[in-house]
Amino acid sequence: MFLSEPTKKYKQSFIEAMRETEEESSDPDIHKRITEAEQDFDKYLDGLKEQEKDKNLKPEHVPQTTYWLIDNDEYIGAVRIRHSLNEALMKEGGHIGYDIRPSKRKLGYGSKILELVLPKAKILGITKALLTCNSTNTGSIKIIEKNGGILWDKIPGGVDKPDKLRYWIEIK
């Protein structure tokens, strides 16, 4: 099991994972992203590289590096390291965001992807990483705490939105 830069080698299992995620997602743009990835995967990968190099970013976005967790030649999930924090990411998102494909959840992959990405964040100069999650997401809470996350605070969610928990992880 290892982190890989996004590559065509894992295109098929990546697309399958996106389709799994689409079934449960509330993201209205996920179908469009799947179609774009299927039609021109090289362009999709180029877009990820542009995000890393601070090219063609939306004004509210920051540069980020994406890695894929691979196990037995299969795409398991993605993790993104945001190189810096803006005001929005300080409240929700933080330095590191990860997701595991639905069929591979609750198998320890979430803890592993976070464990593997922390040294890569340090290489980017992040020695203290902010991670956020919903207060109702017990899986992410366990993953973050298992990897050294210390609860900083809780931001009230409001009507029909759970509170947001913010954690710091010291990267050694």
Quote the pLDDT of residue 2: 98
Reported confidence tier of residue 99, pLDDT bands at 50, 70, 90: very high
**Does residue 60 surpass a pLDDT of 90?**
no
Q: Supply the mean pLDDT for the chain.
A: 94
Quote the pLDDT of residue 162: 95
Quote the pLDDT of residue 172: 87
Q: What is the number of domains present in the chain?
A: 1
In sequence order, the β-bridge partners of residue 100 are 77
Whichever domain contains 152, its CATH number is: 3.40.630.30
d(CA 141, CA 167): 9
The angle subtended at Cα 153 by Cα 148 and Cα 158, nearest 5°, is 130
Least confident of 47-61, 82-96, 128-142: 47-61
Its domain, for residue 25, covers: 2-170
d(CA 81, CA 45): 16
**Does residue 26 surpass a pLDDT of 90?**
no
**Does residue 33 surpass a pLDDT of 90?**
no
d(CA 80, CA 165): 19
Quote the pLDDT of residue 135: 97
Quote the pLDDT of residue 58: 79
Name the more confident of 14 and 32.
Answer: 14
Contact 65/81 with Cβ under 8 angstroms?
A: yes
Region 69-91 average pLDDT? 96
